[in-house]
Structure 1
Amino acid sequence: MNVQALTVSLMLAHLMTASAAPGTEKYQTIMDSLTAGKVSRIIHTDVLPFSGEDHGEVISRVSSAFPGTPYQANTLIGGPGTPESLVANFNGVDCFTFIDYTEALTRSHDQASFLRNLAAVRYTGGNVSYLSRRHFFSDWSATKPYNARDVTPDISPDYAVADKQLNRKPDGSEYIPGLGIHPRKIHYIPGKAISRQVLDNLKTGDYVGVYSALDGLDVSHVGIVVRHDGKVWFRNASSLAENNKVVDSPFAEYMRAKPGIVVLRAESSAMTGDTQ
């Protein structure tokens, strides 16, 4: 479940300082000095020197700056009755803010472009408001500008299709009041069908969601495919007590008992609507 979207965000203004970037005048932008420093360092060491490289490899390299970062839910500011702010906070991440930051960084060339790209990645149409947040993982491939495309059917012929009513609780009410109910077909590969062929077909930098069987949700957790030490790993912001930070988990082992996976792929900044 997208924790950041389904609970009221905690106010973290006392940890951060406001900064204004071009095009952000309609909303507050919040980024502390530690995060600003990390943004600049990652862009200049892991993005700019590798212009033109495969986008998945850039995602892997950028995301490698986050392992060890504490898990922290509810870092975003906004909700029913609370104005939305564009928050960049690398001091603690949940599974969704982790992939938001990673994808935005891969598209950026400086701090200002990072903030613009973060707005484009996190919000439908780049409209910084609570109801425009991409509250569901499948929003990345279903709402414009697209962050990625759904490649789940390309990964395995054994994929399944679920007709979902996203945002609908079992009692008929909404997880996110005012967002409405969104019918959507979700492609997923059942956990029991995650074979060696599936692992071989996953690309470095693929964004993977753990499929949720609940009708109102698409996934319960998200992370990134990375490869090192001759193995496939699931890089994710883990809330498990033994982790409570961004970690690399063995992919096959992690997914063995899960209901399935949804795979999205951001292949290039041009495809995803780069705002540089």
Structure 2
Amino acid sequence: MRTLLSIAIALMASMGPALADDAPKAAPTPTTAPIGVKNIVIVPGAFVDGSGWRVVHDILIHKGYHVTVEQPRIETLADDIDLTRELIRQQDGPVVLVGHSYGGAVITVAGNRDKVKALVYVASVQPSEGESLSQLLGSMPSPSNDVVATRDGHLYVNPDKFAADFAADLTPNRTNFFAVSQPQATTAAFNATVSSAAWHTKPTWAVLTTEDHALSPDLQRWMYQRAGSKVTEIKASHLVYISQPEAVAKVIEEAATSVH
């Protein structure tokens, strides 16, 4: 018996390191804080939720950034601006704001806070005072327009057209789910005019999506040039932050390291 017990103990001891090697490893912890601004607040656009920003979030937090992803309600523009301002208030130190699509209208106003040091527009509207999202979209129509209005003043994208309009560079199993899980927006939010534009006084970066069928690339270029944004053109759909998260994270990181 003692011999068998001794063999068992020896066998368990010899297996220990192997078992440890097979155990899941935690994500690496950054050894130093990033240069510049460490707080990133992301405001998603309409018809998608914040979960699509998961990979961009992970890339940035592994580099030492503190990332907050908002879930805008898109009932009224004013409510979403207030929500963003509250998230800015909660950050410990300076902030870089990131907006996608409709989220660009939100950060344009919410960015008028001393803590906000830069704005990043990702396939996004970039309105000036007195302009609305609807007005800008109508000035240079997108390659396609499959947004449907409901009787109660809400909007959604025709599920059959979602993939072609929003995410032609993603696989069908992903776009099919996005199409049937999309949160609705309101016509009131899209028609609300912007009261002030932070890009007049804050440095801005922009991601221009050249294969975008939901937001005209020509309109993007015009808005970004008007604001003097530093533009990165990416051959991608409207959901560029999902199809090319590394490229989007790189632009956000460039903005964060360029300001204090």
TM-score, shorter chain, exceeding 0.5: no
Task: State the TM-score, normalized to the length of structure 1.
Answer: 0.26
Greater share of strand residues, 1 or 2?
Answer: 1
Greater share of helix residues, 1 or 2?
Answer: 2
Task: State the TM-score, normalized to the length of structure 2.
Answer: 0.27
